[in-house]
Amino acid sequence: MMAISEEYVRELSERGMRIDNRKDDEFRDVKIETGVIKSAEGSAQVKLGNTTVIAGVKLSVGEPFADKPDEGVLMVGAELTPIADPEFEPGPPGIRSIEVARVVDRTVRESKMIDVKGLKINDKAVWIVNVDLHVMDFDGNLIDAGNLAAVAALATAKMPKYEDGKVNYDERSGSLPVTTMPISVTTVKVNGKLFVDPSKEEEATADARLTVSIKNSGNICSLQKGGTEGFTVEELDKMLNIASEKSEDLRAALK
Amino acid sequence: MRDDGRANEELRELVIKAGVFKNAEGSAYVKMGNTVAVAGVYGPRELFPKFLQNAEKAHLKCRYNMAPFSTKDRKRPGQDRRSQEISKVIADALEPVIFTKEFPKVGIDIYIEILQGDAGTRCAGINAASVALADAGIPMRGLVAAVAAGKVDGDYVLDLTYNEEEKTKADVPVAYAPSLKKVTLLQMDGDLSHEDVRNVINVAIKGCEKVHEAQVEALKNKYREVTL
């Protein structure tokens, strides 16, 4: 079934069209809802067209890493639950969920979105921040949907109370030390055409893919290239421009 | 009086929605108080590995999974012994209402995700899975509804919260198929007399009947808008 739609996506691209009639640089509708999970310290549900991702932030207290005694720990994980697609299998994380988690993780980390020095409690204890992405419905571009969900969940998280060496999850106050909001924008290349925010069919057809993540300042904080083809310098330039422009719209949607 | 002001045999706030996901052939959302479960169904479809194929009937596969952010202390992702056991008893609770003999050799996959846990997650999971199966168009003898009951401070109480579960002498999850008038899941750990057990089960069955009404309503609601 996928092979047929791949041919179709290629055919359409030759006529300058996309499978869902979008313009080349048009994102699908973005819906962001925060505070959807009461058991999490921060949470967000993001719908990017028909892709649905829930992010949950959990905080716990642990020891700092020996080489970074003054810093808290931030980790992003992703689970592509088998509800989300007929082809997702239950079991340990596959390469696709690992890539989504790693790219979102690097974006959040390298942007210094969370000031990890502000997560230090004392010499032996720091906050450990886990962001878990739960994919509920898959229609392509998990990286951008996961990034938006993670950023929205972190930005709205409330810290639990830490007293007498114990975490009290019933009392939450104060936010995480947020310094910026990194936004990622993914573009794929199909037949030499550049399509932003690929749908499932476009992603499966794509010859190459680039994710660009941009901070509030407009600076780029992470890049990830995927796919078996290369990009020309002109193409890279074009994709960086698309990312700058689109990240503004997505950032506005976060508010 | 209970902590949250409910009467003894009163359910928590119950929200059921059918058809919440696009990809799954059938899906449902169930909220029982602060417990939130979603379920998605795929199938009947080809079953792998092949040795699971049964020439007599369809193979029902169920996966109950808790999201890492569904609990106070983060749950490590992945299946543990508890979730594997619950997956098994949920599949067994649902099988009696499914016409599995109509579909020899194939598999029906039921995926349950607990997004928020405040006790009663297996019951919420069964309620969601049952609606999702119907939403997927799987031929069924009826729906299965589930809710737990227990005994707290001498009273029989329905649909326990986590705080109540801590105080109870026993927590008894019950799944019930009203169309068959049969209990399809029953578990308990605790300390109750013979009479108590009988009463607790009866309270739970009455609760299941109320849940069942809400399940039927949710399925009707999905189609209400498209009827002419």
Query: Which positions in chain A touch B65 (Cβ < 8 Å)?
Result: 81, 90
Just give the CATH number of A2-254. 3.30.230.70
Record: contact A130-B74, CB cut-off 8 A: yes
* pLDDT band (50, 70, 90) for residue B226: low
pLDDT of residue B99: 96
Distances (CA, A) of A133 to A130, A136, A148, B163: 10, 9, 11, 28
The string of pLDDT tens digits covering residues A27-69 is 999 999 999 999 999 999 999 999 999 999 999 999 999 999 9
Q: Is residue B2 part of a domain?
A: no
* Closest alpha carbon within chain B to A92: B78
The answer, for A122 touching chain B at a CB cutoff of 8 Å, is no
* pLDDT band (50, 70, 90) for residue A92: confident
Contact between residue A130 and residue B68 where contact means Cβ atoms under 8 Å apart: yes
Contact between residue A62 and residue A128 where contact means Cβ atoms under 8 Å apart: yes
Percent of chain B with pLDDT over 90: 86
Q: Is residue B27 part of a domain?
A: yes
Query: Which positions in chain A touch B23 (Cβ < 8 Å)?
Result: 50, 83-86, 137-139
User: Mean pLDDT for chain A?
Assistant: 94
Checking ipTM against 0.90, whether it exceeds it is: no
Q: For residues A127-166, b (16+ Cβ closer than 10 Å) or e, as one string? A: bbbbbbbbbbbbbbbbbbbbbbbbbbbbbbbbbbebeeee
pLDDT of residue B3: 87
Average pLDDT over residues A107-131: 95
Q: Is residue B6 part of a domain?
A: no
Q: Is residue B121 part of a domain?
A: yes
Q: Is residue B4 part of a domain?
A: no
Residue B228 has pLDDT above 80, yes or no: no
- Domain locations along chain A: 2-254
What CATH number did the domain enclosing B171 receive? Answer: 3.30.230.70
Q: Is residue B227 part of a domain?
A: no
Q: Closest Cα to residue B146, out of B169, B178, B192, B117? A: B178
Predicted TM-score (pTM) of the model is: 0.89
pLDDT of residue B176: 97
Q: Is residue B5 part of a domain?
A: no
Average pLDDT over residues A239-249: 95
- C-alpha triplet A144, A150, A156: angle, nearest 5°: 135
Q: Is residue B65 part of a domain?
A: yes
* pLDDT band (50, 70, 90) for residue B224: confident
Residue B48 has pLDDT above 90, yes or no: no
Average pLDDT over residues B74-103: 94
Q: Domain count for chain B, please give it.
A: 1
Q: By residue range, what is the domain housing residue B127?
A: 14-222
Mutate to test the interface with B, among A1, A29, A33, A39 (most CBs of B within 10 A): A39
